[in-house]
Amino acid sequence: MITWRYAGSECTSALTEPCTLVKAATVFLTTVIILARLASAQGIQPRYTVVDQGLSLVRTLTDTPGLNNQGDIALWHSVTASLMPGLVVHGKETISIDGEKDFSLVFPADLNDQLTVVGTLQQPQDLRFTHAFKWSNHHLEILESLGGPYSTAAAVNAAGVVVGSAQLKDGTRHAVLWQANQPRDLGVLGQGDYSSARDLNDKSEVVGEANVVRNGQPQAFLWRGSKIQQLPNLPGGTNCSAQAINNAGAITGSCDLPSSTRHAVLWRNGSIEDLGTLGDEDAPSTALDINANVQVVGTSEATSDHLRAFLWEKGKMINLNQCIAPHTGWLLLVASRINDKGEILGRGYYHGYIHAFVLEPNPVSAAKGK
């Protein structure tokens, strides 16, 4: 079977039926060549164009730069070991976000369409101490914590409401919501002692992870209407983490299987769906973001110990490396953000170095000429 749907949900050609006779093989291969020549003649484009955003310092899998619906991005840029400003790329303009006093490492995590940026300030001398920040109109503000020295901001919605996590005086860490820059402790599940908010939508519905008992494994949660509730696990699984939520309430993240392998998942209407992997059942996958069209992005092992960026849509997980032009020098490892226009932010190897990238969807068009 041959599939040519660069502009649809599939990006690869697949040979799924073996040819046992020479004659059948000849006919089959001739068909492939004809279709390939037709595709070339019609100027079929790869689904995405890769736009290089420069060298990227990796923190963790879930600590990622931000992307809004206008295509603006917020990321960090290393100058020296003790100086790392944040950057906002707004069209052709690049705006610097400088840290404050001893907190000179700036890690933007999200931005909204009004160019309000949130993230974390960190000390270069002692990485245990961090401040959540909010930046808008060229003004940086440190957000109030819950009494401890640690706080971090993860997401901001259209109204400027911010979520993240902060340390209490007793040393425990709780999910927090800042509205009008005032912190609100979102609490924990059951008898747990840990929670962390990862995302919120424009209804201020919050998702993240929390344990149910002290020092227990994290579970995915949804906070809505002043109430925190646990999201369902995969059958036989013991822990989950929710990473993103869209305005319709669809949530994505990852959960473990009984084998302890983690898979990307999607929660909708109280149910959980395993999104699978790019490899076999034992290959791990992690979902990091979801847009209004229920397109999910993340990373998955395609073969043993080889991570590849993926897009999941309409029931199918796609290796994004098969959706770009060949021989570009890129190997896409992680897709961390997707906006409602379908633009994707991530990182990967570019000529041997880790770079940030944006994938811009190509319009469906035919080349002019013969």
What pLDDT score was predicted for residue 353?
92
Asked whether residue 350 is assigned to any structural domain, the reply reads yes
The pLDDT tens digits of the residues spanning 16-41 come to: 444 443 343 343 334 433 434 444 43
Residue 26 is inside which H or E element, if any?
Answer: helix 22-42
Q: How far apart are CA 106 and CA 35, in angstroms?
A: 50
What pLDDT score was predicted for residue 10?
53
pLDDT at 320 over 60: yes
Same domain for 190 and 321, yes or no, is: yes
What Rg value do the Cα atoms of the chain yield, rounded? 22
Q: How far apart are CA 193 and CA 70, in angstroms?
A: 38
Same domain for 53 and 37, yes or no, is: no
What pLDDT score was predicted for residue 369?
33
HSE value, Cβ hemisphere, 13 Å, CA-based, for 110: 26
pTM: 0.86
Asked whether residue 309 is assigned to any structural domain, the reply reads yes
The dihedral built from the CA positions of residue 128, 134, 138 and 139, taken in this order, carries a sign that is negative
Q: How far apart are CA 96 and CA 113, in angstroms?
A: 17
Q: How far apart are CA 230 and CA 221, in angstroms?
A: 4
What pLDDT score was predicted for residue 20?
40
Mean pLDDT across the chain: 86
Asked whether residue 284 is assigned to any structural domain, the reply reads yes
Q: Which domain holds residue 68?
A: 45-361
Same domain for 36 and 73, yes or no, is: no
Please list, in sequence order, all residues whose beta carbon lies within 8 angstroms of the beta carbon of residue 264, skipping any fewer than 6 positions away: 252, 253, 254, 274, 275, 276, 277, 285, 286, 287, 296, 298, 300, 310, 312, 317
Same domain for 183 and 172, yes or no, is: yes
Hey, is 31 helix, strand or coil?
A: helix
CATH code of the domain in which 99 resides: 2.130.10.150
Q: How far apart are CA 123 and CA 207, in angstroms?
A: 27
Same domain for 290 and 314, yes or no, is: yes
The pLDDT tens digits of the residues spanning 206-263 come to: 999 999 999 999 999 999 989 999 999 999 999 999 999 999 999 999 999 999 999 9
Structure tokens at 207: 């998702």
Asked whether residue 54 is assigned to any structural domain, the reply reads yes
Same domain for 98 and 209, yes or no, is: yes
Q: What is the average pLDDT across 168-190?
A: 96
Q: Report residue 141: phi and psi, to 5°.
A: -130, 130
Same domain for 12 and 160, yes or no, is: no
304: confidence class by pLDDT, cuts 50, 70, 90: confident
Domain count, the chain: 2
Same domain for 22 and 71, yes or no, is: no
